[in-house]
Structure 1
């Protein structure tokens, strides 16, 4: 049981917690029992050579071993979709998914606000008008990012400058000692879902302002934080070449600002698009840049990874419930087939095929077990007083 498969991670939980839950199911199952026993035997032999470890410590360590598992690219808690998982020796194949493969994301964002994290889990940085934005502007903006483009990672990410996480500079309100290093990424396509563009008929609530210690909206201070607002806006090399030859605009003016007494509507307009991107692309940054290109701002409210390399939600991706709501004699063979053959296997079809073969056996086992339990009950009851009296009465009659 070694290889790579993909599973759907729901929104609302971290990738680490989700992987841990899968690992727990696998470790407790009989599907991985043989592999786990081999791993424990090897671990016992290796650890026993450590003179500093007592026999009891070695036994405890080996007893607590779990199925080896890892993932090929984190999804934020807010995000859902394809999570590539390596199990056993398959964990050695995850580097490709972490740094080389292409991915497809479907995302929704609200216009008019920017946040510290680029999504709905951050604090508001700026508020900008949205009334000037048209569907034509949204459609015309997409091609400006398609191609080879530089991208500035979000300030609230795991990246560090001089050994200090970017978000600490932002929290302290101090400028970075040096500019965030841009990434060279590639955006292969952006498909705008025109039917939803600028719609306010959606379930997403506008992010509310948070107040500081003095009772003032935090964005009043964050808006002037150079750490959060000094990154340039880049368009793709391909668009810039086209702009040069066709005399198209190469830059965009700064986002519009509200006049006295003006503010955003209670329901913010939505933008909805699907993008095919290279590894290393930050969708939150793409959304933020998209908002700036419209002379406004934007923050992400929904993100679904619909494809990663050969793994697609509509074909070969498991659900967590596949492992918890099916007998392991059903999900085990399906998983084995995927580990052996990769993304070529249609998971839903494989489940149907295995169920057709295995369910009759399982149902027959249940019938035999029920019959066995009935006979056992009858035998136990045969030693009691009441059944004996009944038998005698039957004989006398």
Structure 2
């Protein structure tokens, strides 16, 4: 089997760890066993011809499992669509790694900024939320849609002088220079109606002195990054620059700080809930932080779901679940997977599982009926044989009695 399919990654695991779990399941299945045996045999023969020696298990490691790769990393915090390539399908993953449109649904909390821009970082600032209004928040749908400059967060895989930014952060080493803003595209941004509600289950993060010390060493802070609005919005306003004209975030008052401290884990900050369609290279954490600054506050991400990547979408039901491979019979999932690898994203996985399951149930019923018919034939034959034996016995008994009489 070769091709592309998509599976839903859960939150709390890296993309690579999740893919390795799936790889192990497929490698241990019967459906891929012949391909693996063939690849292993070819590699052994090739190695023998090249070196004159027998290949060790280490040399055969790559070909002794299903060849697999993914088309774009999801943060451990994030869940959603992860595109997977199998066999020759891994060569098609390049088109997913750059240039593909993605749709995300995200939730965040106003009033706090963190080192990473999400709930896994440490708090670095607290700001007022008392002035937030839905009518003002809805203006973000225009301010951030279009061609947009965006500064990546320090906790990102983006490299500077050959080293990922997040490694500088973990090591506490200052960046060689400031992080340059990147040009991205936000095709659509929809602020959900439940935004600004406090009726949710997310507790607000606590401040950390260590986080501030770390940022001072790194000489970077998401709050200090220049805020940009989209080129289209700025042109509409008649501005000669894409730099946003917004007042600085309002600091948290001492009174509000005491109230938050008093409520403790019961305190609920206003929620930001939105859905966005973006280009590759867009950082949702940075978008959230920028929306917070545009509202003269701060904001950090608590939930992220990749709803869609290219034509693979949770809403289109063409994305597998891990339980499809762990809880279903191999003869069921292998048929559906084969169909998806052949026809692509047009396959509705939910419908196909129902169809295949129904076909197998019908096959089982036919087999049961055949077994019953065979059993009935055997019973009839046995009955006929018994009758024949009884008739023979009866005839013999009559003959014997006749001889005695004579």
Give the TM bin, normalised by the shorter chain: 0.7 to 0.9
Q: Which residue of 2 aligns with 1:387?
A: none
Say which is worse superposed, 227-236 or 312-321, in terms of deviation.
Answer: 227-236
What's 2:148 paired with?
149
Normalised to the residue count of structure 1, the TM-score between the two structures is 0.84
* Runs of 4 or more above 4 Å deviation: 168-175, 222-225, 362-369
Distance 1:30 1:261 in 2: 65
Larger CA deviation: 236-245 vs 80-89: 236-245
Secondary structure of the equivalent of 1:74?
coil
Q: 2:210 aligns with which of 206, 218, 223?
A: 218
Q: Which residue of 2 aligns with 1:12?
A: 12
Could you say what secondary structure the match of 2:234 adopts? helix
**Superposition deviation, residue 54 in structure 1:** 4.1
Report what 1:393 is aligned to. none
Q: CA deviation at 1:168?
A: 4.7
> Higher Cα Rg: structure 1 or 2?
2
How far residue 165 of structure 1 moved from its aligned partner, in angstroms, is 3.5
Aligned 8 A contact 1:174 1:227 in 2: no
For normalisation by structure 2, the TM-score amounts to 0.82
* Superposition deviation, residue 65 in structure 1: 1.1
Q: Per the alignment, do residues 58 and 169 of structure 1 end up closer, same or farther by CA in structure 2, a change over 3 Å counting?
A: closer
1:43, 1:62 within 8 Å by CA — same for their partners in 2? no
Q: Give the corresponding residue for 1:115.
A: 114
Describe the shift of the 1:262–1:86 C-alpha distance in structure 2 as closer, same or farther (beyond 3 A).
same
Q: Secondary structure at the match of 1:303?
A: strand
Please list, as runs of the form range in 1=range in 2, the aligned pairs for 1:1-397 lying within 5 A after superposition.
Answer: 1-51=1-51, 54-55=53-54, 57=56, 61=60, 65-170=64-169, 175-194=174-193, 196-210=194-208, 217-221=209-213, 226-229=219-222, 230-244=224-238, 250-263=244-257, 265=260, 266-314=267-315, 315-362=317-364
Alpha-carbon displacement from aligned partner over 1:206-230 (angstroms, at most 9, x marks no partner): 11233xxxxxx33554676631243
CA distance in structure 2 between the aligned counterparts of 1:249 and 1:332, rounded to whole angstroms: 53
Cα RMSD of the aligned pairs, angstroms, is: 2.8
Q: Distance in 1 between matches of 2:18 and 2:106?
A: 21
C-alpha deviation, 1:288, in angstroms:
0.9
Distance 1:132 1:208 in 2: 22
CA gap 1:354/1:169 in 2 versus in 1, 3 angstroms: closer
Unaligned runs of 5+ residues in structure 2 are 261-266, 372-406
Gaps of 5+ in 1: 211-216, 370-397
TM-aligned CA distance change 1:366 to 1:219, over 3 Å: farther
Q: How many pairs were matched up? A: 363
Distance across 2 between alignment mates of 1:366 and 1:306: 43
**1:162 Cα deviation (Å)?**
2.5
